[in-house]
């Protein structure tokens, strides 16, 4: 027998009430807190992310560190995402040390990552493979502010419910590495040639993308027992969008998404503590927002127009998915961190010889490649770099959700492999987490060449990606194992 209309309404009302009930009294209360602090850098510092580094002359929108802290009564975790092209490991280490001491969170349970906006000044100094030159003024400031964000989020801890969701948004993603047609090559800056080309535009020799994209946008959401949104931590594998005038400081689409999501969820911006939306970068080392196949638009987008278009679309989709999330009164929390030692790449004797000859030439002499002097200097620097580097990996569990952290610009196929093999569904990876060591191609790409594989742009052994995946899967397996009686 079908229920009557009044019965159906009563059943729906009961479900709605059940979804906003406070945590049950038969266990510890699940709590969440979020916070956001300004980390905007000083003017006149160089904006990095491209080979040209103009001084910062205007702040279009402030940069932030956005933090989320979760507590299940026995374990406390913290996530913090910083608007930066990449944050040096020593900055995150210092922030983690400060926050752990003040907020009662084990250092292994604090995950920090950069968004990879290309419109910010540097939070790196010296050589990431061999730090020791001492922190810059901005690095000292940034470490304190990252720790402040975590501490403030911990101070905002309050009873909460937790849930997660996923959606696919492939329309904004394009693998930027293209294979060239058989027999076709392009020059590299080391005196050789490549069979793959980054951002090929309308190059007549381009054949097909050299790899996939990861279309999934995954998110973790927490809300108060009365239904008020507290925070959303999202993850999407898009390098950045850009469209920023020279000299402008901007957090790119990551910040636009945060603002738009709050609007879409109807959050009162005056409520304290306020809602915090966070967009983290997934595995986007070879993925961007540049469509080189479709006809170009009749009119190029105005500054900030394209990032706003992308962010608004994603915020709308996440808001819709958020409304269907099955929120829970609690979820088990766990985290683990591991140091993984990787070999660093060294130039071959032929590359060293070529680099020396390039640097001996007059600056205005004919060039094999427009960037050959830049990479000649990198080649000599890499020859003198340490033979190994220890990188910090991290794995986090929030109920059935898994989160991996890798301190590189990671190719999409690596992220897809982690998702497919992880015991947690869903799983996502935050790249540029707990440090920054440039690009992480998978082994097959080194034979193809291209920007992301060039010495200096990639700085670790070709087998680094499989080693990182294996370590993370071991770590996830440990988190998924049942607790000992």
What are the start-end ranges of the H helices in 323-390?
A: 349-360, 372-383
Of 10-14, 31-35, 160-164, 469-473, the one with minimum mean pLDDT is 10-14
Those residues whose C-beta lies under 8 Å from the C-beta of residue 28, and which sit 6 or more positions away, are 72, 73, 74, 330
d(CA 210, CA 225): 47
Structure tokens at 109: 């349970």
Structure tokens at 200: 């090929």
Where b means 16+ CB within 10 Å and e means fewer, 2-23 reads eeeeeeeeeeeeeeeeebeeeb
pLDDT confidence bin for 123, thresholds 50/70/90: confident
H-helix or E-strand spanning residue 334: strand 333-343
Average predicted confidence (pLDDT) for the chain: 92
pLDDT confidence bin for 422, thresholds 50/70/90: very high
pLDDT of residue 24 exceeding 50, the answer is no
pLDDT confidence bin for 132, thresholds 50/70/90: low
d(CA 263, CA 63): 19
pLDDT confidence bin for 406, thresholds 50/70/90: very high
pLDDT over 70, % of the chain: 92
d(CA 136, CA 91): 10
Strand 401-406 relative to strand 427-431: parallel, antiparallel, unpaired? parallel
d(CA 476, CA 397): 8
Mean pLDDT score, 291-316: 95
Secondary structure in 3-state letters for 246-304: CCEECCHHHHHHHHHHHHHCCCCCCCCCCCEEEEEECCCCCEECCCCCCCCCCCCCCCC
Q: What is the tens place of the pLDDT at every residue in 343-374?
A: 999 999 999 999 999 999 998 899 999 999 99
pLDDT of residue 25 exceeding 80, the answer is no
Mean pLDDT score, 13-17: 33
pLDDT of residue 134 exceeding 90, the answer is no
Other C-beta atoms lying within 10 Å of the C-beta of residue 147: 26
SS3 325: coil
Cα dist from 23 to 226, 233, 474, whole Å: 11, 22, 32
pLDDT of residue 2 exceeding 50, the answer is no
pLDDT of residue 83 exceeding 90, the answer is yes
Q: What is the tens place of the pLDDT at every residue in 206-249?
A: 999 999 999 999 999 999 999 999 999 999 999 999 999 999 99
Rg over CA atoms, the chain: 23
Of 23-27, 77-81, 82-86, 343-347, the one with minimum mean pLDDT is 23-27
Instruction: Give the pLDDT score at 203.
Output: 95
pLDDT confidence bin for 258, thresholds 50/70/90: very high
Q: What is the tens place of the pLDDT at every residue in 442-461?
A: 999 999 999 999 999 999 99
Those residues whose C-beta lies under 8 Å from the C-beta of residue 369, and which sit 6 or more positions away, are 187, 188, 189, 375
pLDDT of residue 11 exceeding 60, the answer is no
CB 213 within 8 A of CB 416: no
Instruction: Give the pLDDT score at 154.
Output: 98
Report whether the peptide linkage leading into residue 147 is cis, meaning its omega lies within 30 degrees of zero: no
């Amino acid at each position: 027998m079908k229920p009557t209309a009044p019965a159906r309404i009563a059943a729906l009302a009961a479900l709605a009430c059940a979804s906003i009930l406070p945590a049950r009294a038969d266990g510890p209360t699940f709590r969440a807190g979020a916070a956001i602090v300004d980390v905007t850098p000083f003017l006149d510092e160089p904006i990095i992310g491209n080979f040209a580094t103009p001084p910062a002359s205007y702040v279009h929108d402030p940069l932030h560190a956005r933090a989320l802290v979760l507590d299940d009564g026995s374990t406390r975790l913290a996530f913090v995402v910083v608007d930066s092209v990449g944050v040096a490991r020593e900055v995150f280490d210092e922030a983690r040390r400060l926050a752990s001491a003040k907020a009662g969170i084990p250092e292994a349970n604090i995950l920090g990552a950069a968004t990879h906006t290309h419109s910010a000044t540097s939070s790196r100094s010296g050589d990431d493979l061999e730090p020791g030159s001492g922190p810059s003024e901005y690095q000292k400031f940034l470490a304190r502010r990252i720790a402040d964000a975590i501490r403030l989020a911990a101070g905002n801890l309050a009873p909460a419910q937790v849930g997660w969701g996923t959606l696919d948004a492939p329309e904004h993603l394009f693998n930027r590495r293209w294979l060239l047609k058989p027999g076709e090559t392009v020059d590299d800056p080391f005196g050789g040639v490549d069979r793959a080309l980054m951002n090929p535009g309308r190059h007549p020799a381009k054949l097909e993308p050299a790899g996939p994209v990861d279309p999934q946008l995954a998110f973790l959401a927490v809300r108060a027992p009365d239904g008020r949104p507290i925070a959303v931590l999202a993850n999407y594998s898009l390098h950045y969008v850009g469209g920023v005038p020279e000299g402008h400081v901007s957090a790119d689409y990551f910040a636009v998404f945060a603002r738009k999501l709050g609007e879409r969820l109807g959050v009162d911006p005056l409520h304290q503590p306020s809602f915090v939306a966070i967009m983290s970068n997934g595995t986007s080392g070879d993925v961007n927002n540049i469509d080189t196949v479709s006809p170009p638009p009749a009119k190029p987008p105005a500054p900030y127009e394209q990032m706003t278009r992308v962010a608004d679309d994603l915020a709308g989709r996440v808001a819709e998915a958020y409304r269907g999330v099955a929120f829970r009164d609690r979820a088990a929390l766990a985290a683990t961190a591991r140091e993984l030692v990787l070999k660093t790449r060294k130039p071959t004797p032929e590359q060293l010889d070529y680099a020396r000859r390039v640097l001996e030439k007059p600056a205005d002499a004919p060039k094999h490649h427009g960037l050959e002097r830049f990479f000649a200097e990198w080649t000599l620097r890499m020859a003198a770099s340490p033979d190994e580097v220890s990188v910090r990996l991290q794995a986090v569990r929030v109920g059935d959700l898994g989160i991996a952290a890798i301190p590189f610009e990671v190719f999409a196929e690596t992220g897809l492999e982690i998702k497919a093999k992880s015991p947690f569904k869903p799983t996502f990876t935050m790249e540029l987490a707990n440090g920054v060591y440039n690009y992480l191609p998978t082994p097959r790409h080194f034979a193809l060449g291209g920007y992301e594989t060039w010495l200096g742009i990639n700085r670790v052994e070709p087998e680094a990606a499989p080693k990182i995946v294996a370590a993370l899967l071991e770590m996830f397996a440990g988190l998924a194992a049942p607790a000992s009686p």
